[in-house]
């Protein structure tokens, strides 16, 4: 399980061991082939990119028969690297399908160190790092989104558990607007945007404080939200 940078030109956020493990591999399962090739090339892989075997696996195209055929290489004694679109594979991406198959077939799964926007956001948020939940994407329809936000707020208030979620970058403004409209004035909201980028923005305020502040520009920027 090979983490990759969560920002452009972020190779330096990966430890040497992760880079060395990647360079020892010829076969990869990736969330997006184009992004993975660019990442692998940036690490200065010792082999030509065209000589590497890359299988694209994503939630729109699970491709189980083809995947299991590709995974047959593991039974032949060869190792396969799993790469997410950004950050850690298997967390908020389809890589879990591959690791589940590996466990069922008694094949070792090795997680390597690298950045995760979810945990980096939590680390910098001031929210409860002892108890937290990640919910992925919330409903896109406004009334359903509002109901879900209120549910997360109630859970955070009653159990003191940080509630982490995300949104497609082009819908960030919608979910922030709905959070400011639906949540209690005293509820804390962390906005963590462009983590590890030169424009990194991680700020926690109450809803009341957000309403009286200049809001960050989030459109088409990878962002993690935390309610606490």
Query: Do 96 and 135 fall within a single domain?
Result: no
Say if 198 falls within a structural domain.
yes
C-alpha span between 18 and 88 (Å, rounded): 12
Number of domains in the chain: 2
C-beta of residue 206 within 8 angstroms of C-beta of residue 185: yes
Please name the residue that has the structure tokens 């967390």. 91
C-alpha span between 112 and 135 (Å, rounded): 23
Query: Do 121 and 82 fall within a single domain?
Result: no
How far apart are the two ends of the chain, measured CA to CA in Å?
30
Please name the residue that has the structure tokens 């493990």. 21
- Print the domain residue range for 98: 11-104
Q: What CATH number did the domain enclosing 61 receive?
A: 3.40.1010.10
Task: Read off the pLDDT of each residue in 137-144 and give the average, rounded to a whole number.
Answer: 93
Query: Do 64 and 137 fall within a single domain?
Result: no
For 69-119, write each residue's pLDDT tens digit: 777 777 788 899 999 999 999 988 878 888 888 898 888 999 999 999 999
C-alpha span between 155 and 138 (Å, rounded): 15
Instruction: Kindly state the helix (H) or strand (E) to which residue 176 belongs, with its residue range.
Output: helix 172-182
Report residue 59's pLDDT band, with 50, 70 and 90 as the boundaries: low
- pLDDT beyond 60 at 164: yes
Query: Do 210 and 132 fall within a single domain?
Result: yes
For the chain, the average pLDDT equals: 92
* Tokens representing residue 146 in the block: 């509002």
* Cα separation values, 205 from 4, 34, 126, 187, Å: 30, 37, 10, 8
Any residues with CB less than 8 A from the CB of 147 and at least 6 apart, and which? 139
Q: What pLDDT is recorded for position 95?
A: 80
Q: What percent of the chain has pLDDT over 70?
A: 96
Query: Do 19 and 96 fall within a single domain?
Result: yes
For 201-224, write each residue's pLDDT tens digit: 999 999 999 999 999 999 999 999
C-alpha span between 103 and 172 (Å, rounded): 36
* Closest to 5 in 3D by CA, of 122, 86, 81: 86
Query: Do 200 and 144 fall within a single domain?
Result: yes
Please name the residue that has the structure tokens 């690298």. 114
Query: Do 223 and 169 fall within a single domain?
Result: yes
Query: Do 97 and 135 fall within a single domain?
Result: no
Say if 110 falls within a structural domain.
no
For 173-211, write each residue's pLDDT tens digit: 999 999 999 999 999 999 999 999 999 999 999 999 999
Query: Do 90 and 131 fall within a single domain?
Result: no
C-alpha span between 101 and 119 (Å, rounded): 26
Say if 111 falls within a structural domain.
no
Task: Read off the pLDDT of each residue in 156-182 and give the average, rounded to a whole number.
Answer: 95
DSSP letter (8 states) at residue 28: E
Sign of the CA dihedral running 61, 66, 72, 78: negative
C-alpha span between 36 and 95 (Å, rounded): 14
Query: Do 55 and 127 fall within a single domain?
Result: no
- pLDDT beyond 60 at 63: no
Q: What CATH number did the domain enclosing 219 receive?
A: 3.30.950.10
Which residue, of 74, 104, 134, is where some domain finishes? Answer: 104
DSSP letter (8 states) at residue 7: S
Could you give the angle at the alpha carbon of 38 between the alpha carbons of 196 and 221, nearest 5°?
Answer: 40
Any residues with CB less than 8 A from the CB of 89 and at least 6 apart, and which? 1, 2, 3, 31, 82, 83, 95
């Amino acid at each position: 399980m090979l983490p990759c940078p969560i920002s452009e030109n972020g190779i330096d956020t990966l430890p040497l061991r992760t880079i060395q493990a990647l360079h020892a591999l010829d076969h990869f399962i990736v969330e997006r082939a184009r992004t993975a090739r660019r990442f692998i090339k940036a690490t200065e892989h010792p082999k030509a990119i065209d000589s590497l075997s890359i299988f694209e696996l994503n939630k729109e195209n699970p491709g189980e028969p083809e995947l299991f055929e590709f995974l047959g290489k593991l039974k032949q004694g060869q190792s396969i690297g799993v790469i997410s679109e950004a950050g850690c594979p298997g967390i908020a991406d389809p890589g879990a399908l591959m690791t589940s198959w590996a466990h069922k077939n008694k094949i070792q799964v090795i997680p390597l160190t690298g950045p995760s926007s979810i945990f980096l956001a939590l680390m910098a948020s001031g929210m409860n790092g002892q108890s937290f939940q990640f919910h992925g994407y919330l409903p896109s329809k406004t009334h359903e989104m509002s109901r879900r936000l209120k549910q997360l707020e109630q859970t955070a208030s009653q159990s003191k558990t940080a509630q982490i979620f995300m949104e497609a970058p082009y819908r960030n403004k919608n979910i922030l607007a709905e959070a400011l409209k639906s949540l209690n004035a005293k509820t804390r909201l962390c906005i963590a945007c462009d983590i590890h980028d030169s424009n990194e923005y991680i700020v926690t305020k109450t809803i009341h404080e957000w309403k009286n502040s200049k809001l960050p520009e989030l459109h088409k920027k990878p962002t993690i939200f935390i309610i606490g």
